[in-house]
Amino acid sequence: AFDTLVIGGGPAGAAAAIYSARKGINTGVAAERFGGQVSDTLGIENFISVSHTEGPKLVAALEQHVNDYEVDVMNLQRAVAFKAAEVEGGLHEVTFASGATLKSKTLVLATGARWREMNVPGEQEYRNKGVAYCPHCDGPLFKGKRVAVIGGGNSGVEAAIDLAGIVAHVTLVEFMGEMRADAVLQKKLKSLSNVDVILNAQTTEVTGDGSRVNGLTYKDRNTDEVTTLPLEGIFVQIGLVPNTEWLKESPIEMSPRGEIITDAHGMTSVPGVFAAGDVTTVPYKQIVIAMGEGAKASLGAFDYLIRN
């Protein structure tokens, strides 16, 4: 059995693993995809002390740093169930899609989050046929075409700026009366000649010709007027969903949004089970925050171990 088993290999999981291993305890990391959301990120300019880096480069550095220590790294392992220790100080169990089960005295849950879906007609039908969620992965597929970005938060505006350099035209569709993105991003967006912004617009349908997306229908929330934009691609950027479905049946306390609730030491409502990063209620989902939270949860787990 492990002393500390980390579930998830994003920035939070990597930091947790390094901090545990440096205590000389038996540490494992099991992740569906090592690197997490960072693998889907292009430019990173807010990772403090590094002026500019790129997702894949940071993932490689994370992997290298974890491999500097005696950490049992199990990549491509998706956790599907959790069983809490029957007695305090006992072994927790995590079962994986592969059928394997791992036991550990403490756990750090760092399974992150993923993009939220619109849940409108046509979205599923045209997924990967014009409906996309990762501009860095799929942007080049729309070279010279017209696209919409749904959502005016940081990720939506970043996506629109990114796509404007590749595609013919971008329409950013925001539900509220104003965008929530950082002012600097909005300023950049407004400087681009091939971007339009539509506010107060509720997306109602993704239309297509049976094989590909050909339009996006939205309703003006002030006038109820319905408009269909002819376009070839739709990038959905309306927020993140925590990856906690596999914990639904567990006693771990979560917020109404399904985020894991932790205390000041990163411990969940189940003794010996810690959590960190985008999967938790911690505000501001960022790499540097996820790493700090991962380190904190891991130190919390170590403190728990020496007391039990």
**Nearer to ligand FAD (CB atom), residue 10 or residue 215:** 10
- Closest contact distance (angstroms) between CB of 214 and ligand FAD is 26
* 111 in contact with ligand FAD (CB under 6 A): yes
Spatial CA neighbour of 268 closest among 239, 242, 231, 234: 242
* 266 in contact with ligand FAD (CB under 6 A): no
Contacts of 306 (CB under 8 A, 6+ apart): none
Nearest 10 degrees: Cα torsion 286, 291, 297, 303: -150
| Contact by Cβ (8 Å): 153, 237 | yes
Select the residue interacting with ligand FAD from 6, 18, 21, 79 (CB under 6 A): 79
* 37 in contact with ligand FAD (CB under 6 A): yes
**Nearer to ligand FAD (CB atom), residue 212 or residue 248:** 248
Helix (H) / strand (E) containing 205: strand 201-208
Spatial CA neighbour of 26 closest among 1, 47, 57, 56: 1
Spatial CA neighbour of 54 closest among 34, 68, 40: 40
Per-residue b or e along 211-230, where b marks 16 or more CB atoms closer than 10 Å to that residue's CB = eebbbbbbbeeeeeeeeebe
* 65 in contact with ligand FAD (CB under 6 A): no
* 201 in contact with ligand FAD (CB under 6 A): no
* 6 in contact with ligand FAD (CB under 6 A): no
Pairwise CA distance, residues 165 & 150, whole Å: 17
* 41 in contact with ligand FAD (CB under 6 A): yes
Q: Identify the DSSP state of 91.
A: -
**Nearer to ligand FAD (CB atom), residue 53 or residue 269:** 53
* 288 in contact with ligand FAD (CB under 6 A): yes
Per-residue b or e along 154-189, where b marks 16 or more CB atoms closer than 10 Å to that residue's CB = bbbbbbbbbbbebbebbbbbbeeeebebeeebbebb
- Closest contact distance (angstroms) between CB of 210 and ligand FAD is 30
| Contact by Cβ (8 Å): 262, 295 | no
**Nearer to ligand FAD (CB atom), residue 103 or residue 219:** 103
Select the residue interacting with ligand FAD from 150, 181, 185, 290 (CB under 6 A): 290
In this chain, which residue has its C-beta nearest to ligand FAD?
112
Spatial CA neighbour of 28 closest among 293, 308, 298: 298
**Nearer to ligand FAD (CB atom), residue 277 or residue 300:** 277
Which residues 7-26 are close enough to bind ligand FAD by CB under 6 A? Answer: 7-13
- Closest contact distance (angstroms) between CB of 250 and ligand FAD is 12
* 31 in contact with ligand FAD (CB under 6 A): yes
List contacts with ligand FAD (CB under 6 A): 7-13, 30-34, 36-38, 40-41, 44, 46, 78-79, 110-113, 136, 243, 246, 277-279, 285-288, 290
